[in-house]
Chains A and B, each alone.
Chain A
């Protein structure tokens, strides 16, 4: 191990420091393989809160199924409420994982290595949480297969011209490709875990899951090709999934929804929210599990830059919404803008501007970007802000539209909130179980990074021995 921190030719801090091939494997595998009593209190606390909130989710779902969707705050004109807000919020959060693992992989950004596994897992869990809302909002979830086109006794096809059907395909494709991509990336590490596990059942499970991986050159060759192809497949999904989600709104004629800026603005918002959520988990985890040498401040710095950039696109989107509201010349569009800024829900709009536009400007400062506590706090603002954004779009547009005799106010009921908070419990539970059962940093990719560092950086080569 080197005694002093090396800097790369640009004078940047390294992405990984003080590790060799063996120590990095040991360190990451230890989180999973240590005895249960050695897991930190933080992990127990996180899992406990997660499971507790998960019970709330189960109860909210039970209540919903036995009584029906009227326990939610929906009314006419606000026929879309928390379910779609939460769906869009969660599905957006998933996008960071796909961006990190697919696009940054194709652009050969080495820093993605330490966060990709964790971010991809969060993608999957976010899709699970998101998927619950469309599944349950139909009221009779056991008939949800009606969403799919299949030869049926009703003599009916789904409405292929509806973006809600495109959503079904977009999200199910996204879930499928994400899980394949994630699992493929796991296989070499599962083999490492298989070799290191001492418990016979853990060994058997890792062995089975590693699909007979031997680490032969032929396996690596196949693996590299498969991973590259899956990265290529995932890349368009980063853009397409949230574009299609945004079309749920943009294809309608509702003031505040019917705008062409929605797809890019939604995708940027998704990446914004997704990075905030990855950082929300990464910052405590790197601290508690002592991973600061693998998840360095340089990672924070890079991720904050992505967040700042996508945040600026989102801010541009907000500006354009106001501009086009005025520029359209339509009284309904203009009224919608005024109602957003000054109407009965004006505080949600101004809070949104505070959370998503003003607070993230602090990220221009290098000091803030590399200060974990500051970044963590900003991420909380962004997560709240992105939820408010969907609230503003869905509720404020619907509650006062064309027909002023049909205006109404909307508020989520306790069951709306229970369902929302409950999905957070589901997410927490899945994340903490994942941390315990699978290596949350890609071990073999870290080894590759160390290998590269050692062999492509000649002036430091002799330090290592």
Chain B
């Protein structure tokens, strides 16, 4: 054609555009996926602001058992946050005038609960029973990480559905002896695979026929 609206430079531009569409599209999808998995979105390792800067590290290092405060973890589907009364058992005697504990004393005096920021919050469409996990040999540290080393509590695991399913498909990865449930330093990998499979058998964790990955196990 006679009219030259475009020059040969435009050929290069056209090819570059095609390349950019492909690379840009792939790059965009990859970027979105990275964002989705990032601690920024998942809140992993993020120290959460609390009304009182409670340190699990400090309290467990004094030898207080998890269940002294979290009384219902073995018996209830819902793992409880202790009432202010539990704090006051000690703090009416020690650090009883510490300014940092003023919200605790206020709560105790008024009867209004302290409003802790929840660190492990599963979506409402997921049914999660805390007690069954504890009673079938899953230790605190498996999901919550080394809480005994956290000055301010953070979320250790990203709580992806994939993460739930990995264990539900093969519980023997994470199962431990019942006397080690509250042992934060214990590592299930220190047991042999056979020993852990024996534990799965012993606890009666029935994952045959994908029973534990049935949709309705968690999405009821």
Contacts and interface: CB of A to CB of B under 8 A. Distances in A.
Interface of A: 152-156, 191, 194-195, 203-204, 207-208, 211-212, 214
Contacts of A191: 1
List 5 A-B pairs, minimum CB-CB distance, nearest first.
A155-B162, A153-B160, A154-B161, A155-B165, A207-B5
Interface string B1-14: 10101100001001
B58 interface: no
B187 interface: no
A15 to B, nearest CB: 30
A153 B1 contact: no
B161 A153 contact: yes
Contacts of A208: 6, 14
Interface string B93-116: 000000000000000000000000
B165 A212 contact: no
Contacts of A204: 5
Nearest to B37: A153
B36 interface: yes
Contact of B166 (A155, A203, A207, A214): A155
A208 B11 CA distance: 10
A180 to B, nearest CB: 14
Interface string B160-184: 1111111000000000000000000
Among B1, B158, B161, B162, the one with the most A-chain Cβ atoms within 10 Å of its Cβ is B1
Given A207-B6, A208-B6, A212-B11, A154 B160 contact: yes
A155 B5 contact: no
18 contacts: A153-B158, A153-B161, A154-B160, A154-B161, A154-B165, A155-B160, A155-B161, A155-B164, A156-B161, A156-B162, A156-B165, A194-B1, A195-B1, A204-B5, A207-B5, A207-B6, A211-B14, A214-B1
Counting contact residues on chain B (CB < 8 A from A), the size range is 10 to 19
Contacts of A195: 1
A195 B2 CA distance: 9
A452 B11 CA distance: 35
Interface centre among A154, A155, A194, A211 (most CB of B within 10 A): A155
A211 B6 CA distance: 11
A56 to B, nearest CB: 32
B167 to A, nearest CB: 10
Given A153-B37, A212-B11, A203 B5 contact: yes
A203 B3 CA distance: 10
A215 to B, nearest CB: 9
B135 to A, nearest CB: 24
A212 B6 CA distance: 9
A150 to B, nearest CB: 8
Contacts of B163: 155
A158 B158 CA distance: 22
A195 B3 CA distance: 8
A154 B162 contact: yes
A215 B162 CA distance: 55
Contacts of A211: 14
Interface in B154-211: 158, 160-166
Nearest to A152: B162
Interface string B125-136: 000000000000
Contacts of A194: 1
Contacts of B164: 155
